[in-house]
């Protein structure tokens, strides 16, 4: 059985699904690894490094033709999707919300598609959890980038000429990305506030030194799988009033709120942005799914009366080596669960919650 991966469109995606050190792990399972020519050259990794570990290098067309499972970061381009054959397996971050039509057409041809962002939040799936591994890096990088763009000092500084106040940061969404953003902002000396619809995150926020803000008497909006779920209209209205008041004193907002497989909830409305201090920044990590800010545009910086709204569609293109190392390990752990070592074949066991939940239907 063969696992294969082809080069991504590096103008959009610099991460890779298979790193050289992971190749030998696949081979130890009894799998062959086929990769397209110059697979990771953009990261400074030569084909020879893969070949030294036992990988086979060939053309994109041959990799697609020969592989039983195609492992990618994102969904394949249309031309390559059409080359997939019956019973092949496609695994990646397929984003069913944005790619619904493509995926339905692909699945109708009896191709098995698995989208790793749909993994259940269960103990057995932790080693495969791409949302956690990637979001952790994204939360860190969002803070570093927004602080670099901010035109004031971040920590409080006391000098003979006077005192500079610490920057105030609000993190919207206290999942993995949000918690890393809180920790990073605190380490750099900011005063940090955070909000989340999941009340269980209050303790985590406070353990990192953040101040948790929430609507009084709010219900806990958390699914059994550990994700946030959509809030009621009443809750949204109360949350908007609280946020608008809070944003009057905030310098930097880091938006991280996402609902897997759906459009990102709009949390920061235009009238809230209007009350923010001149020179403040909104850094929206949810821009690839529409954004948490009403004015967010992917890969653009919008100036709204002196407030900069930054929408980064793929922030991990700025940390591709670290992100690829983690993603490749997540992917291997998923394959390890999908591959039957005794039968030496892939088994789609829908009684396995991990397989059942990640299969796109």
List active site positions: 121, 126, 129, 132, 227
**Cα(328)–Cα(332) distance, integer angstroms:** 6
CB atoms within 10 A of CB 135: 23
Contact residues for 28 (Cβ-Cβ < 8 A; gap 6+)? none
Cα–Cα dist 55/107, whole Å = 28
Contact (Cβ atoms closer than 8 angstroms) between residue 358 and residue 116 = yes
Of residues 184, 128, 99, the one with CA closest to residue 336:
128
Contact 170, 211 (CB under 8 A): no
């Amino acid at each position: 059985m063969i696992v294969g991966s082809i080069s991504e469109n590096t103008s959009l995606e610099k991460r890779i699904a298979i790193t050289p050190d992971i190749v030998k792990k696949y081979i130890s399972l009894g799998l062959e690894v086929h990769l397209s020519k110059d697979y990771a050259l953009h990261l400074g990794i030569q084909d020879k490094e893969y070949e030294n570990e036992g990988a086979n290098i060939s053309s994109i067309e041959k990799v697609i033709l020969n592989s039983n499972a195609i492992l990618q970061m994102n969904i394949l381009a249309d031309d390559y999707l059409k080359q997939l054959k019956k019973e092949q397996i496609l695994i990646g971050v397929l984003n069913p919300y944005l790619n619904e039509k493509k995926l339905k057409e692909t699945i109708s041809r009896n191709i098995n598609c698995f989208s790793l962002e749909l993994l259940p939040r269960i103990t057995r799936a932790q080693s495969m959890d791409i949302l956690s591994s990637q979001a952790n890096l994204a939360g860190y990088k969002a803070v570093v980038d927004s602080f670099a763009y901010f035109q004031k000092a971040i920590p409080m500084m006391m000098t003979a000429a006077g005192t500079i106040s610490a920057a105030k940061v609000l993190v919207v969404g206290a999942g993995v990305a949000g918690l890393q953003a809180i920790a990073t902002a605190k380490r750099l000396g900011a005063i940090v506030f955070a909000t989340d619809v999941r009340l269980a995150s209050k303790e985590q926020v406070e353990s990192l030194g953040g101040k948790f803000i929430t609507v009084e008497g709010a219900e806990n909006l958390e699914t059994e799988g550990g994700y946030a779920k959509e809030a009621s209209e009443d809750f949204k209205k109360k949350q908007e009033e609280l946020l608008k008041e809070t944003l009057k004193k905030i310098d930097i907002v880091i938006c991280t709120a996402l609902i897997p497989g759906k459009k990102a909830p709009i949390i920061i409305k235009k009238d809230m942005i209007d009350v923010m201090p001149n020179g403040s920044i909104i850094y929206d990590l949810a821009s690839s799914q529409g954004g948490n800010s009403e004015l967010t545009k992917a890969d653009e910086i919008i100036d709204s009366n002196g407030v900069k709204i930054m929408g980064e569609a793929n922030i991990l293109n700025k940390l591709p080596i670290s992100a690829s190392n983690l993603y490749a390990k997540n992917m291997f752990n998923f394959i390890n669960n999908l591959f039957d070592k005794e039968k030496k074949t892939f088994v789609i066991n829908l009684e396995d919650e991990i397989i059942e939940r990640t299969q796109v239907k």
